[in-house]
Amino acid sequence: MANKSLNKAQEALLRLIRVHAYSSAFNVLYKMQPADLALIFNYLTNAEKEWFIKSIIKNRKLPEVISELEEENTAQFLSLITETELIDILETIHPDDAADLLPLLGVEKQQEILQKLSKPQQRAISQLLGFAPDTAGGIMTTDFLALPETITSSQAITALKKIEEKPEVFYVYVIDEHQQLVGVLSFKELVMAQKDKKLNEIMHPDPICIETNKSQEEASSDIAKYNLLALPVIDENHRLIGQITVDDAIDVLVEGATEDIYHLAGLGKEEHAATSTLTSTKLRSPWLLVNLATAILAAYTISLFEETIAQYVVLAILMPIVASMGGNAGTQSLVVVVRSLALGEIGWRVGLKVVFKEIRVGLLNGIITGLAMGFIAYLWYQNLTLALIIVAAMIANLIIAGLFGAAVPLILRKFNLDPALGSSIFVTTATDVGGFIIFLGLATLLIKVLLP
Amino acid sequence: MANKSLNKAQEALLRLIRVHAYSSAFNVLYKMQPADLALIFNYLTNAEKEWFIKSIIKNRKLPEVISELEEENTAQFLSLITETELIDILETIHPDDAADLLPLLGVEKQQEILQKLSKPQQRAISQLLGFAPDTAGGIMTTDFLALPETITSSQAITALKKIEEKPEVFYVYVIDEHQQLVGVLSFKELVMAQKDKKLNEIMHPDPICIETNKSQEEASSDIAKYNLLALPVIDENHRLIGQITVDDAIDVLVEGATEDIYHLAGLGKEEHAATSTLTSTKLRSPWLLVNLATAILAAYTISLFEETIAQYVVLAILMPIVASMGGNAGTQSLVVVVRSLALGEIGWRVGLKVVFKEIRVGLLNGIITGLAMGFIAYLWYQNLTLALIIVAAMIANLIIAGLFGAAVPLILRKFNLDPALGSSIFVTTATDVGGFIIFLGLATLLIKVLLP
């Protein structure tokens, strides 16, 4: 894991730790950001990790550092601290971060530790553990600021001054007597309002909000689309129960995009450039073996035309061109449709329109590249029949590419599956098998005219 | 462009416009979000667009709607409003949004309109037009709140109340007498502080900031990594001159990821599922023609072994398997390295380590999938030499895949080129040509042993 690029402070800290200059190291560490400290953890030996953890406890940065750790490091981190320290952390951090940590301890230990926490924190964490991790409820925090609609702005400010300081206020939410969300205010708007105005006179009514069971992607897209700093989360009775903050939305959106690319290429989201050779091999080989199966299917298709190829070997030379062009055009259609689905630009309802459009693009690009290839094939082998066969095969295969490139992700989405996962295998299998059957099939039908 | 999925309010508005129920339509439009209104623009006829623009002017949503429009719609939008309306918009919107709009008018018109704006807005926009659009300076806004370090918190609040209201305060920045950035505060911290404390006693000193000439990607990654709502931008003398807000950072990060996927698949970032057939064809055909050229190169490689294939046609059946597996493994390596570069997880410095790792993964996966294929080939054709040749060719080609998949994006980055753009062509050409040469080359060398 020693591959990631480090900034100057990180390199200085590592050098000082290496030469055991711990008091200087502590001074450097003291000024560093939690996210930068979390990355350092990858580079330390076990002995150094113990010093590191003690230092960030002394420095009161432990909770923030732990929520910035990569998932694979968090479990090890937890094993290096005492139970008292763990409970202390779980009391201090946001309930949503605590709800992410607890499952790493295992079911039994999770229950045991949960019992030892203060009642309010226990309740908040238990509630969050009840939501699926990829829903709005699963990524929300229960830390938010809500005030009744009937108090005045000066009463509100007095009330806020009494609350123990929270790290950041994204919005001040306004609720009615049933805890239902009725409005929103920025902290600045609250302070700048006339003192005797009631909150329901100065708030923005009917704020954008989301229900707990909606997907984390939908929640994050709303935050991005409407330029929000946080999105309030409501239960089935429109009661305010949490908020999703913009920093978590960024993580969902960026990881979602990376996941799309990875899935299209047959990679799991766990992989980085710094993942070990053995882990990478293990993660990638299943997908390569599935690809091997589809490649064998394509080879079997070719074997059906063995006799034709034996009669005219030039076919073996040109056939990979038809398959390769189909694969490329299919990937183009696939990627456009997958990203448009992910960004919420299209849904299943308009699917047929998108499929027909991709077929038309396939037809046109098939004509363009097919004619170019037909011309080159004619120059190369001086055989008009061969040239016409490759033109026809390329047009047909690029239509197949458009059809499968658009239809496969739309159908996966229709069945609530990830449109990116596995779709490239379907598409390239279709264009490989389709390309070989059409090209070699036409050649077999026309073999008498074809033979020079 | 009529393909995007709409929400209920958008569909209601469109229906009302279609039946010319303009006063009901206005009531619906009145409650809608700018981002949702901007999307509606795609669906309107020219006559409807004029009504639409008049309505959002009346509704005072024009500036917000215009900054949410897709780039291809903005120029048309601008052509439909009067010069007075345009100047009014440019005075109202943030200078950074204005600096995005002005270049769409053309150089001459841009100068003419700029002259007619108020001096402060003119100065702010001109300054922004001086920065390259993909830098921190190019995406920052010059709207920010900065206060001198020596005033007290109550003086600060009094000062803020005098400033005309701005839409949103992300942070309150603290500057010294040279306009240099020395600290940061949340608005809440300022309000909650004791009245007589000076700002330099309550501020967080030395905040994270960025210089104008740094890339927009670096600025946006910092915002994501350090969970910021905004990132202050400084000039070469450490003077505060702007800030980058989290909503703009999200756009840069998400568009960057989409661009990576698109570039890997040979697509331009302009394309959506809703792009017209002709435009899509035009955008994709150049890349398909480049691919055709590389496919012909691979075909030419095969033609060098025409005689061998004529002697033993089974080679033509199996050779696409070697090429296809290399292409898939190469794409896996390529995608991992491209994303790790984009997310700043690795740099050129650790390049050699990454290349060696991908070669090792290629070797291991080559052994796994090669042995599987060798076994199947032996069962299929009962020819041990053939089986051994395909095992060797697959191992060699998956090593080539790892080498090129890692090295190509790293080299592109080294020369400051986009690691995603065009790299998949290089990699698949290497695995196609490499695979055919090794498999058919070995078969040619061993042809006497190979022939059944």
Q: Where a domain ends, among B132, B154, B180?
A: B132
- Establish if A265 belongs to a structural domain: no
- Mutating which of B168, B189, B284, B300 best tests the A interface, going by the most A Cβ atoms within 10 A? B284
Please name every residue paired with B211 in a beta bridge, in sequence order, or none if there are none.
B234
> Where is average pLDDT lowest: A83-92, A171-180, A343-352, A433-442?
A343-352
Do both B357 and B326 map to the same domain? yes
Tokens, residue B14: 């469109």
The whole-number pLDDT of residue A2 equals: 35
Could you report how far apart the first and last alpha carbons of chain B are, in Å?
60
How is residue B165 annotated by DSSP?
A: P
Q: Where a domain ends, among B92, B111, B132?
A: B132
The whole-number pLDDT of residue B165 equals: 58
Do both A35 and A149 map to the same domain? no
- Establish if A94 belongs to a structural domain: yes
Do both A356 and A410 map to the same domain? yes
Confidence of residue B167 (pLDDT cuts 50, 70, 90): low
Query: Which residues from A are below 8 Å from B274, CB to CB?
Result: 340, 345-346
The whole-number pLDDT of residue A166 equals: 59
The whole-number pLDDT of residue B381 equals: 95
Q: What is the mean pLDDT of residues A81-103?
A: 85
Q: What is the mean pLDDT of residues B104-123?
A: 88
Share above pLDDT 70 across residues of chain B, in percent, rounded to a whole number: 97
Confidence of residue A89 (pLDDT cuts 50, 70, 90): confident
Contact A280 B313 (CB under 8 A): no
- Establish if B357 belongs to a structural domain: yes
Q: Considering only the beta carbons, identify the residue of B157, B346, B364 that sits closest to A273.
A: B346
- How close, in Å, is residue B51 to chain A by CA atoms? 24
Q: What is the mean pLDDT of residues A338-342?
A: 86
Contact B360 A432 (CB under 8 A): no
- Establish if A330 belongs to a structural domain: yes
The whole-number pLDDT of residue A1 equals: 33
The whole-number pLDDT of residue A368 equals: 97
Give per-residue pLDDT as tens, B54-88.
Answer: 888 887 777 788 878 877 778 788 888 888 888 88
Query: Which residues from A are below 8 Å from B352, CB to CB?
Result: none
Q: Considering only the beta carbons, identify the residue of A35, A309, A320 that sits closest to B226.
A: A35
Give per-residue pLDDT as tens, A396-413.
Answer: 999 999 999 999 999 998
Give per-residue pLDDT as tens, A30-47.
Answer: 888 888 888 888 788 888
Do both B225 and B331 map to the same domain? no
- Establish if A262 belongs to a structural domain: no
Contact A295 B320 (CB under 8 A): yes
Position B29 pLDDT exceeds 70:
yes
Residue pair B263/B421 in contact by the 8 Å Cβ criterion = yes
A339 touches chain B (CB under 8 A): yes
Contact B292 A249 (CB under 8 A): no
- How close, in Å, is residue A269 to chain B by CA atoms? 10
- How close, in Å, is residue A321 to chain B by CA atoms? 5
The whole-number pLDDT of residue A165 equals: 58
Q: Where a domain ends, among A90, A114, A138?
A: A138
Domain span at residue A434? Answer: 277-450
- Mutating which of B94, B225, B360, B423 best tests the A interface, going by the most A Cβ atoms within 10 A? B225
The rounded mean pLDDT for chain A is 89
Do both B157 and B299 map to the same domain? no
Give per-residue pLDDT as tens, A205-246.
Answer: 999 999 999 999 899 999 998 999 999 999 999 999 999 999
What's the per-residue H, E or C state across chain A? CCCCCCCHHHHHHHHHHHCCCHHHHHHHHHCCCHHHHHHHHHHCCHHHHHHHHHHHHHCCCHHHHHHHCCHHHHHHHHHCCCHHHHHHHHHHCCHHHHHHHHHHHCHHHHHHHHHCCCHHHHHHHHHHHCCCCCEHHHHCECCCEEEECCCEHHHHHHHHHHCCCCCCCCCEEEECCCCEEEEEECHHHHHHCCCCCEHHHHCEECCCCEECCCEHHHHHHHHHHCCCCEEEEECCCCEEEEEEEHHHHHHHHHHHHHHHHHHHCCCCCCCCCCCCHHHHHHHHHHHHHHHHHHHHHHHHHHHCCHHHHHHCCHHHHHHHHHHHHHHHHHHHHHHHHHHHHHCCCCCHHHHHHHHHHHHHHHHHHHHHHHHHHHHHHHHHHCCHHHHHHHHHHHHHHHHHHHHHHHHHHHHHHHCCCCCCCCHHHHHHHHHHHHHHHHHHHHHHHCHHHHCC
Distance in angstroms (rounded) separating the CA atoms of residues A225 and A210? 14
- Mutating which of B317, B319, B390, B414 best tests the A interface, going by the most A Cβ atoms within 10 A? B317
B384 touches chain A (CB under 8 A): no
Distance in angstroms (rounded) separating the CA atoms of residues B70 and B72? 6
Q: What is the mean pLDDT of residues B167-189?
A: 89
DSSP SS3 for B141: strand
Do both A130 and A18 map to the same domain? yes
Do both A222 and A333 map to the same domain? no
CATH number, domain at A284? Answer: 1.10.357.20
- Rg over alpha carbons for chain B, rounded to the nearest Å, is 30
Nearest CA in chain B to A308: B313
Do both B305 and B417 map to the same domain? yes
Nearest CA in chain B to A289: B369
Confidence of residue A158 (pLDDT cuts 50, 70, 90): confident
The rounded mean pLDDT for chain B is 89
CATH number, domain at B257? Answer: 3.10.580.10
The whole-number pLDDT of residue A298 equals: 95
pTM over 0.90: no
Number of domains forming the structure of chain B: 3
Distance in angstroms (rounded) separating the CA atoms of residues A173 and B47? 41
The whole-number pLDDT of residue B3 equals: 38
- Establish if A90 belongs to a structural domain: yes
Give per-residue pLDDT as tens, B117-145.
Answer: 999 889 889 888 989 888 999 999 888 88
B80 touches chain A (CB under 8 A): no
Give per-residue pLDDT as tens, B241-251.
Answer: 999 999 999 99
- Mutating which of A93, A254, A437 best tests the B interface, going by the most B Cβ atoms within 10 A? A254
Cβ within 8 Å of A, B 239-258: 246-247, 249-251, 253-254, 257-258
> For B38-50, b where at least 16 C-beta lie within 10 A, e where not — what string?
bbbbbbbeeebbe
Give per-residue pLDDT as tens, B288-339.
Answer: 999 999 999 999 999 999 999 999 999 999 999 999 999 999 999 999 999 8
- Establish if B295 belongs to a structural domain: yes
Position B94 pLDDT exceeds 60:
yes
Cβ within 8 Å of B, A 121-160: 157, 160
Confidence of residue A3 (pLDDT cuts 50, 70, 90): very low
> Where is average pLDDT lowest: A291-295, A399-403, B113-117?
B113-117
CB pairs under 8 A between A and B: 332
Do both A121 and A169 map to the same domain? no
- Mutating which of A158, A186, A260, A332 best tests the B interface, going by the most B Cβ atoms within 10 A? A332
DSSP string, B377-441: HHHHH--HHHHHHHHHHHHHHHHHHHHHHHHHHHHHHHTTS-TTTTHHHHHHHHHHHHHHHHHHH
Residue carrying structure tokens 């070797």: B363
Residue pair A125/A102 in contact by the 8 Å Cβ criterion = yes
- How close, in Å, is residue A161 to chain B by CA atoms? 6
Q: What is the mean pLDDT of residues B273-281?
A: 87
Confidence of residue B392 (pLDDT cuts 50, 70, 90): very high
Q: Considering only the beta carbons, identify the residue of A168, A224, A292 that sits closest to B373.
A: A292
Q: Considering only the beta carbons, identify the residue of B280, B289, B321 that sits closest to A372.
A: B289
Do both A129 and A181 map to the same domain? no
Do both B80 and B219 map to the same domain? no
How is residue B104 annotated by DSSP?
A: G
- Establish if B271 belongs to a structural domain: no
Do both A177 and A239 map to the same domain? yes
Cβ within 8 Å of B, A 401-440: 428, 432
Contact A226 B329 (CB under 8 A): no
